[in-house]
């Protein structure tokens, strides 16, 4: 009799637990892409600051933003998820940009993130193409702001 009581409860609880883990995995993937976008954008900002290499800065920034929006637009996101992801990007840009000396670990992280973002852009290429006008508006707006901050040093 006790087993009969728990069966309906378990059947009800399993979908809830499944939904919680799926939602968390969507957020984790978005957070991971955001983290790598920040790392790559930070590396591009460092290139602009130290070597006046605007071409590498532009390429890094565009890769980061396209991967971020490709993943961000692929699922319904809460306002909180978006704010957290944007904060993750900013934090990782600062983390890389403010490195006093680059170690092998920093280089490995930058290379790993370039690979992850490149694959993400390929994976989400149709979604990115579909939203390219909106994405390009953000690229132009935020790239200009970041360049201005770097050049104001």
Which residues contact residue 130 at a Cβ distance below 8 angstroms, ignoring those fewer than 6 apart? none
* DSSP type of residue 131: T
SS3 category, 77 = coil
Higher pLDDT: 105 or 14? It is 105
Region 102-128: mean pLDDT is: 97
Region 128-152: mean pLDDT is: 92
The CA-based angle 134-138-144, given to 5 degrees, is: 145
* Predicted confidence (pLDDT) per residue in 58-75, tens digit: 999 999 999 999 999 999
Q: How far is CA 79 from CA 84, 115, 118, 127, 131, in A?
A: 9, 28, 26, 20, 19
């Amino acid at each position: 009799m006790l087993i009969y009581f728990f069966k309906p409860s378990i059947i009800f609880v399993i979908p809830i637990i499944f939904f919680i883990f799926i939602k968390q995995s969507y957020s984790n993937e978005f957070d991971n892409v955001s983290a790598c976008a920040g790392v790559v954008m930070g590396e591009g900002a460092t290139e602009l600051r130290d070597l006046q290499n605007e071409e590498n800065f532009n390429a890094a920034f565009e890769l980061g933003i396209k991967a971020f929006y490709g993943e961000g637009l692929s699922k319904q996101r809460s306002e909180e998820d978006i704010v957290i992801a944007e904060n993750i990007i900013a934090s990782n840009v600062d983390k890389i940009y403010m490195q006093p000396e680059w170690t092998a670990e920093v280089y490995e992280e930058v290379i790993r993130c370039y690979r992850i973002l490149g694959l993400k852009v390929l994976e989400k290429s149709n979604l990115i193409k579909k939203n390219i006008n909106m994405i390009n508006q953000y690229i132009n707006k935020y790239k200009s702001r970041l360049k201005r901050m770097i050049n104001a040093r």
